[in-house]
Chains A and B, each alone.
Chain A
Amino acid sequence: MKNYTNGNLRTFIKAFLIGCLLMVAKTGYTQTDSSKATTQDTTAVQAEQPKPATKKPVRNTFENMWILDNQTVIVPIHKTFQLDFMHRFGTWNNGYQDFFGLFGGINMRLGFNYVPIDKLLVGVSFTEYNLTWEGYAKYALIKQTQDGSIPVSATYYGDISIDTKEDPNGTLYPNFSDRLMYFHQLIIARKISDKFSVQIAPSVTHVNSAQGYLTGDTASDGSKIVGKSMHHDHYAIAFSGKMKLSNTLNLLVNYDQPLTKHITNNPAPNISAGLEVNTSSHVFQIIVGNYRFITPSRNNYYNNNDPTGYHGISSFLIGFNLIRLWNF
């Protein structure tokens, strides 16, 4: 039987390396980018001299830790507490009948995040779909520096989710471990200029319980052989970007591409875009995309809103992320 895992892993590694090469391309971000002078008092402005670049990390590759449905490379500053309120409406499939999903199916998530030590974020969240609890951690491995000595920032994100919805007949989750999913992601980003940042994030999702089917064959002991419709492990890659429109408004774009080929029920890609408004203590993102589950492992493994499929534009939905920050 063809080994799907090795083939998928090769594809995954190729996509990852190509993405890394694009990321470190010298597109010329330095802290000495000249900017249009905005000062009114000319006596306060000295002749423009190139500011010496330093080894300090670049600022604001992204404004916060979320880019639509994905994590960014950002870990908030030490002792930040962050509350996430995330909402996804239904798809546009029913048109006016449920007002393009706004009055249709919904999914919501409450997230509680804290940065106990520098560069490390830990969090817990609760999502309406399947009553999913998540525990997760995020660590900033390296940060892009102003002098370019480190050309990219890289962060690891790990997430464990557990479905807690009822299963009175024991058919959905015969074993407790069937409720668990795992998600690992390496996020690599580069601030190209003051107005433009990009990010690439390969990931692997592991589900304990994969869908199976009766092959019709029988084993030597008489038991029926069950085949797997989907692999336990699923590889994917996300491409994201931010464009600064003003000091408080950003345009966000994102594309998630599944890499693993399953026998059936292959998850669909995700195309998403949105606007982000930032203030001192709040972030608001309005989203248009295909992902509805919010839980990253479920989005990557089970997304069936296919923008390239029959429903086309009707596979999109609106959502928002509302974030509140406190600094202690």
Chain B
Amino acid sequence: MKSKMMTAIVLIAIFIAAGSFTFFQEPKPWPVPDKYSKMANPVKADAASADAGKAIWAKQCQSCHGKSGKGDGTKAAGLKTHPGDFTQASVQSQTDGALFYKIVEGRDDMPSFKKKLPDEEDIWNAINYMRTFKK
């Protein structure tokens, strides 16, 4: 009787512990069409662009991707896919065009911003700001 109770307690404790951690799916490869990979950023990466991009980041991106792009936003824990650490080379090595494609099209937890940001200059400004996360 005592051992059965102990077993039940241990199982409940394991259940609670397992539910206390967030498990993200392994990130899937995200192929980008050549047209976008080779697309040049038409907006100069100057301070004004970074400022404008920062405003867009704060309103549209920060809640998931975090203030500094580390994927630690307030909503990140509720996502199936980790938002990614944009300070790392795995993201910073991508071209501006590739980032543009992913922002515009979206996938799974990442929404498409094609309609929410119809002015492409806003997206390019956000990308210029994302470059400032690079370590």
Contacts and interface: CB of A to CB of B under 8 A. Distances in A.
Nearest to B52: A59
Given A247-B59, A248-B58, A248-B59, A39 B132 contact: yes
Contacts of B116: 77, 280, 327
B95 interface: no
Nearest to A51: B48
A49 B58 contact: no
Nearest to A31: B48
Interface stretch (A40-48, A133-141, A157-165): A40-48
A209 interface: no
A44 B128 contact: yes
A77 B129 CA distance: 24
A46 B48 contact: no
A246 B54 CA distance: 11
Interface stretch (B27-35, B39-47, B78-86): B39-47
A247 B128 contact: no
Given A41-B132, A44-B132, A34 B45 contact: no
B118 interface: yes
Interface string A1-42: 000000000000000000000000000000111111111110
A193 interface: no
Given A77-B118, A247-B58, A48 B134 contact: no
B55 A247 contact: yes
Nearest to A35: B51
Contacts of B45: 39, 44-46
Interface residues of A, number: 33
A40 B47 CA distance: 10
Contacts of B133: 40
A262 interface: no
A96 interface: no
Contacts of A41: 131-132, 134
A304 interface: no
Contacts of A77: 115-116, 118
A328 interface: yes
Contacts of B48: 31-35, 48, 51
A279 interface: yes
A115 B96 CA distance: 32
A79 B47 contact: no
Interface of A: 31-41, 44-49, 51, 56, 59-60, 77-79, 194, 246-248, 278-280, 327-328
Interface of B: 44-48, 50-52, 54-55, 57-61, 63, 115-116, 118-119, 121-122, 128-129, 131-134
7 contacts: A34-B47, A35-B48, A36-B51, A38-B132, A46-B45, A247-B58, A280-B61
